[in-house]
Chains A and B, each alone.
Chain A
């Protein structure tokens, strides 16, 4: 039982810090140890990077995809499916949700992919440095109109979102602070880029124009001076509200679902003690995200939070594709595959607004639920896929299975997935209609393969399976 508990805990870690893992990988990771696995995840540089060249050999249009889907989605999905550095990709998705920037306005997947690359590279590093980098990121500058923020005509879009959605949260600043922060970022813009016709896209480059910067005195969050943008970020990261805000985001993404961000100023966190623990790590480490994640993944509040997080569409799609296997190389139709999260409500590289996506139960509606179930069921019901075959082979090694054994075996190897007694009873009732499942003869083996696939399909259609 202790070993089974280790497997369940490792499966939990890999679902949250990655995109899940098959049984072979879980067993190898248990042998390596929980803490060692956490350290490996926290240090992606110890694992090989995704081979971009192979993607470009088959799908050259994925490098500079322009403004039309799905080639940008092909690029990000290829990374998500093939990465050996799952937490690096998870953090890229995390920051993509926090610093949400979308193709609906940017009309340029190249720039959005470049921003994702930045999150991969810096997502577990110094939050202050990341905030400064994103303030200089031309994609963000265009998205939030800072190229229209002039010394003589202030545009508050970036200044406001910096405080409201990227660092402090509503209630921790005043309208005057927004104005003053915006003044400090005047002149932060980008060079005119070479236009897309006739040879395709070229990137933006950050440019600081001192002649367009308002160098006057500003008063910001109780500080007074002739602040530039970097000074504003230095003041922001020292605010207690900043630590609370960033850590609540991390808790919501990795531990358990919180209310939507706009409600954070009126609704207390579900676990204030956990937030306090993360906040302390954030401040003690001087904004080092890796240190906060180390505390998070090793905490009891994380280990006890199994199935308290509703899977995002990206987690559903990527987790399923990695689990069943055979999806590593691009192929015709990879574009449609890459758009699956969008069909479930999470259009990667194109969030609905600067607020990112609404998470938790808001992922689910009648349409998105059907899209989730149909997508996953289509994969786990295919015994030719390596991950499904691996489950069948493990069950087969146990000999003839009773209905209860079939249900419990499938639940175990698909997660382990924890379901209510009522759900299990319904699954067993279905299995009983099939009788014993065995692989003794060629005919029964064919039927048994089919039965396993159908049982997996039933499980992925349960309420419980939507949680991670």
Chain B
């Protein structure tokens, strides 16, 4: 039951979990995307459900183990400015927070504490028009790149919503997209897009020219004795940690992050893992979720409900709880070398640390 993942020239240590299932307040409700701000703060866009519960962006201080803190909530369900129907993408330029609503085809802008400032967006396929806007990312120059998912393209806007540029079209060729989802930029300004229905990541130049693609469609094999945590996985097996042998096979990847070494992290949503690739796109490792320690807010739920604790103590294995279940978002925090994963169906974040000075002298312990 490792908490440390060792791969070629790299070590990842599981740090802690943040969050719990909650339709409001301290927790998450089906996070779709996430972005990081300075000081270990994350903005998480929650989809919620059909009872109009849970839709919101929450601003959370991640901290160390047991230090999670809710700072603000905004963009809850409702009509009018500052309200949402289907929140999806979230990005920050360090000053403002941008959120997409894929039902209303709009981008709303808030200040860093969640105060509504303005919004723009019009349904359509013309320049500057949006169809199911998904992931967002801010460039260093303050412009906003929008994954215009329904139009299978990226569009670039100023922070005020003025259309600047676009790239991409529907298809499976280089530079083409099929319902793309998450997006990130690296230190050089190159753009990485989770090309969801094409089961791959595409890397584009800052000008939107195709540079590289990573991954091909593949599901992790399901062992005959597998225990399905949901009808669509993850699958666990008594014969060992199952089904995660081959890196590079992706099943509906939803997000991508790049660290300061150029390593690429992919939220391999349908395979319930985060795949790590080197800068050239070679598979390095898989992270499968290791939440063996309860989050602070999760522990609060348990402490307040003794029946839950009793049941947990009777459960034969808690391993299904450790694993990712449809991770939607991944980010890298260069301040702390941490990889933060939005574990969507478990309504939490799992945090790993990329360890650069890991030494293990003794193999004969």
A336 to B52, CA, bound (A): 12
Task: With both chains docked as a complex, state the minimum distance between the C-beta of A15 and any C-beta of chain B, in angstroms.
Answer: 29
**B298 touching A198 by the CB < 8 A rule?**
yes
In Å, the complex CA distance between A177 and B130 comes to 66
Instruction: Judge if A48 is at the interface, Cβ distance under 8 Å.
Output: no
Decide: B307 and A198 in contact? CB cutoff 8 A: no
Contact with B along A39-68 (1 / 0, CB 8 A): 000000000000011001111110111001
Residues in A neighbouring B300, C-beta threshold 8 A: 198
B345 touches A70 (CB 8 A): no
Task: Pick the residue among A53, A60, A194, A334 that contacts B315 (CB under 8 A).
Answer: A194
Among B50, B227, B314, B315, residue most surrounded by chain A Cβ atoms (within 10 Å): B50
Give B343's nearest chain A residue, CB to CB. A199
Specify the chain A residue showing the minimal Cβ separation from B321: A194
How many angstroms between the C-alpha atoms of A53 and B272 in the bound complex?
A: 13
Q: A335–B314 contact, CB under 8 A?
A: no
Majority DSSP secondary structure for residues of B touching A: loop
- Please determine whether A61 and B348 come into contact, CB atoms closer than 8 angstroms: no
Determine which of B103, B227, B232 lies in contact with A332 in the assembled complex, contact meaning CB atoms within 8 Å. B103
Nearest-CB residue, chain B, relative to A329 = B132
- Chain B residues in 8 Å Cβ range of A197: 20-21, 298, 301-302, 305, 308
Check A114 against B311 for contact (C-beta < 8 Å): no
B184 contacts the other chain (Cβ, under 8 Å)?
Answer: no
In contact, A334 and B50 (Cβ under 8 angstroms): yes
Q: Are A202 and B307 in contact (CB under 8 A)?
A: no
Nearest-neighbor residue (CB-CB) of B52 within chain A: A332
Q: Are B315 and A63 in contact (CB under 8 A)?
A: no
- Residue A93 CB within 8 A of the other chain: no
Asked if B311 and A193 sit within 8 Å, CB to CB, the answer is yes
Contact of A191 with B by CB under 8 A: yes
Interface: A71 (CB within 8 A): yes
- Distance between B198 CB and nearest chain A CB, rounded to angstroms: 13
B273 within 8 A of A: no
Whether, in the assembled complex, A398 has its beta carbon less than 8 Å from a beta carbon of chain B, the answer is no
State whether the Cβ of B294 lies closer than 8 Å to any Cβ in chain A: yes
A198 touches B302 (CB 8 A): yes
Asked, given contacts A193-B311, A199-B347, A205-B227, whether A60 binds B47 with beta carbons under 8 Å apart, the answer is: yes
Contact flag A63-B230 (CB < 8 Å), given A193-B315, A199-B347: yes
**New contact pairs (10) apart from A53-B252, A197-B302, A332-B103, CB-CB < 8 Å:** A52-B231, A53-B232, A57-B181, A63-B326, A192-B316, A195-B307, A199-B347, A200-B21, A202-B320, A336-B50
12 residue pairs from A and B, CB less than 8 Å apart: A53-B270, A56-B326, A57-B179, A59-B50, A60-B32, A63-B232, A64-B230, A196-B308, A197-B302, A198-B27, A199-B21, A202-B229
The 9 tightest CB contacts between A and B, nearest first, are A335-B50, A198-B20, A61-B49, A198-B301, A198-B298, A192-B314, A195-B311, A60-B30, A199-B346
